[in-house]
Chains A and B, each alone.
Chain A
Amino acid sequence: MSDNIKEIAPPAEPGFWKESWYQLTRNRAAMAGLIIIAFFALIAIFAPLAAPEDPLEQTISARLTAPFTDGYILGTDDLGRDLLSRIIYGGRISLIIGVVSVGISLTLGGVLGLAAGYFGGWVDRIIMRVIDIMLAFPYILLTIVIVAILGPSLTNAMVAIGISQMPRYARVIRASVLSEREQDYVLAERSLGTGNLELMFRTILPNTLAPTIVQATLGVGEAILSSAGLSFLGLGAQPPTPEWGLMIASSKQFITSAWWVVTLPGLAILLAVLGFNLLGDGLRDILDPRLRD
């Protein structure tokens, strides 16, 4: 009997992903994004090998050295620390922030969205009410306030970004659960006596992946931007951490004399976020044509 049921296959079979990957490789913008992300990921992983110097080591005699002088490729900051090494280690921090923040939002939003969409009724109403109220706060403000309450630190910044971004994941996942819930393959599983939890997590959840991946890719980029902003305001990473936003904040008084200390970390942020946005836009076109803007 179970053999017959298996024939009503869920839509997201392996062929769907293979086909999507093929389309992705043909989308030039998305591939550019993927290459940028891979580039940053590689330097982040091999930071100790890629960085020419220790990112925290101060050489006071070499303060504010211009790029391409005395062997400093990107110059030094106001404490004589090698800027290239700091940007490389900063990439490590930013990628971790992006992934952890999105991990937090995905977990929270996933559970809430799944429960709301699957159970419906009053569970749905209560959860969506809370989500709507959270969306009544402007995103940046909500993030700043949560960090302000928890206390400024990199960990709290990730928690704050994770919580603030959560509502959109809850919405995306709820919407796709609603459309999956009444599909034949779910009804078939249910008629076989599969329990609620197993139906939710094993049967339905994998089929909500496509729109979630799109949202998560764009979310990593936004998390990197937000954490840089928080650190710039002194609410995220603390000195001497080589975090990009903090690097800009702590050298902003030198913009009159040393253009590189502010410009270069900002370009690193721009490039990394651009990578995730390019890939996210491409994925959206491929995985979820309905969401195209």
Chain B
Amino acid sequence: MLKFILKRLGLLIPTLLGVVTLVFFMIALAPGDPARIMLGERANAEQLAQLRSELGLDQPLSKQYLLYLGRVIRGDLGKSIVTQQKITDELTDRLLATIELAITSTIFASILGIVLGVAAARKRNSWVDYSTMTGALVGVSMPVFWLALVLIMIFSVGLDLLPTGGRMNVRLYFIPITNFYLIDGIIMWFREGKADYFVSALKHLILPTIALGTIPLAIIARTTRSSMLEVLKQDYVKTARAAGVPERKVVFRYALRNALLPVITVIGIQFGLLLSGAILTETIFAWPGIGKWIYHSISARDFPAVQGGILFISFFFVMINLIVDLLYSVINPRIRLK
């Protein structure tokens, strides 16, 4: 087991190094002069030269690369051109908003996906199965940003039930404590004796959660169904049935546990993707997370910020995939033998 973990960790270093290298050269070798792009066509030669030396663009490429690598290893992602703030600070400020949304979306997608997947597998070729699988296929075929707008159109504009964006009613002034607004809402509930903060945070989360969670929901439902069908064919399930174990117990006690193994991997991968895939959803719902920040950095042509942002998210993504892999080997010892 330890050997497996060490081997996976050993692979991590070249991957991360590769990610840093690719991010650096993608930006460095991009067509056009970044200083010119950032300052616009009207900038004079002097301003350009100054920005170039500020960014280290007057150095040879190999030296730029080594300097960049050195800074990244020390945890320094540079400064944003637009705000002049440290990029790591900007990212950590927004990280929790993104994580909160990714967690609620993953929970929503996992619970509903597993329930629907199991139901479809138990009643194979019934209307439950067909409608779940058709729904799942429609879910993965849908543009997320369109779904988000349709949800706003129905629940915010039409029925006036839920807010169109943001994390909390602006009239409810409060200083974030944990920066997970749901938890902050509960703390305020205890402190001030009113549920307004919690309710507002919850209401703001519902639509973004559904929009962001739909694709993972569809994928989880499909995986659960096929994995469950596979397990229900196994001999031990047949034996349990033959021995007269009640069907509910066979499905939920014996089969589900094994059927969930591949589902857990899928959930982990989807969680990793949600942290990065929230650019569209966060932009539409004015959700102050990393996705919206990267979108604004791209629009402002703030290249150091874009560079830092993708590096940060990719690191996160690689780490989550590693954790999923390790977790999977813990719950499924067979994989370690390979």
With both chains docked as a complex, state the minimum distance between the C-beta of A25 and any C-beta of chain B, in angstroms: 20
Size band of the interface chain A makes with B? 35 or more
Q: Which of A80-88, A98-106, A252-260 contacts B (4 or more CB under 8 A)?
A: A252-260
The answer to whether B18 touches A129, judged by C-beta atoms less than 8 angstroms apart, is yes
A133 and B15 contact, Cβ closer than 8 Å, known pairs A262-B150, A266-B150:
yes
Please tell me if A228 contacts chain B, counting CB pairs below 8 Å: yes
Q: Smallest distance from the beta carbon of A31 to chain B beta carbons, Å?
A: 15
In angstroms, how far is the closest chain A Cβ from the Cβ of B208? 16
Instruction: Give the contacting residue for B153; candidates A151, A234, A235, A262; CB below 8 A.
Output: A262
Given A133-B18, A137-B314, decide whether A262 and B298 contact each other with a Cβ distance below 8 A: no
Given contact pairs A145-B310, A229-B280, A150 touches B31 in the complex (Cβ within 8 A):
yes
B residues less than 8 Å from A277 (CB atoms): 137, 140-141
* B127 CB to nearest chain A CB (Å): 15
Q: From B66-74, B185-193, B270-278, give the one contacting chain A.
A: B270-278
Q: Which residues of B (217-234) have their CB < 8 Å from a CB of A? A: 222-223, 226
Docked-complex contact A292 and B145, CB < 8 angstroms:
no
State the CA gap A255–B155 with chains docked (Å): 12
Using Cβ atoms and an 8 Å threshold, which residues of chain A touch B317? 136-138
B279 lies within 8 A of chain A by Cβ: yes
Are A136 and B26 within 8 A (Cβ)? Answer: no
CB distance from B196 to the nearest CB of A (A): 26
User: Which residue of the partner chain, among B30, B146, B152, B226, contacts A266 with CB atoms under 8 Å?
Assistant: B146
Task: Determine if B277 and A140 form an interchain contact, defined as CB atoms under 8 angstroms apart.
Answer: yes
**A139 / chain B contacts, CB cutoff of 8 Å:** 273
A158 at the interface (CB under 8 A from B): no
Given A146-B26, A221-B141, A269-B146, are A136 and B298 also a contact pair (CB < 8 Å)?
no
Q: For B280, give the chain A residue with the smallest CB separation.
A: A229
Q: Which residue of chain B has the shortest Cβ distance to A145 in the bound complex?
A: B310
User: Are A136 and B314 also in contact (CB < 8 A) when A225-B143, A229-B144, A274-B137 are?
Assistant: yes
What total of chain B residues lie within 8 Å of the partner, measured CB to CB?
A: 48
Determine whether B333 belongs to the interface, using a CB cutoff of 8 Å to chain A: no
Contact residues in B for A293 (Cβ distance below 8 Å): 222-223, 226
Contacts of B222 in A (CB 8 A): 293
Which residues of A are at the interface with B, using a C-beta cutoff of 8 A?
A: 129-130, 132-134, 136-141, 144-146, 148-151, 221, 225, 228-229, 232-235, 245, 248, 252, 255-256, 259, 262-263, 265-266, 269-270, 273-274, 277-278, 281, 292-293
What are 25 of the A-B contact pairs (CB < 8 Å)? A129-B18, A132-B15, A133-B18, A136-B19, A136-B318, A138-B273, A138-B277, A140-B273, A141-B276, A141-B314, A146-B26, A148-B298, A149-B27, A225-B141, A225-B143, A229-B280, A232-B280, A245-B145, A262-B150, A266-B146, A266-B149, A269-B143, A269-B146, A270-B146, A281-B137
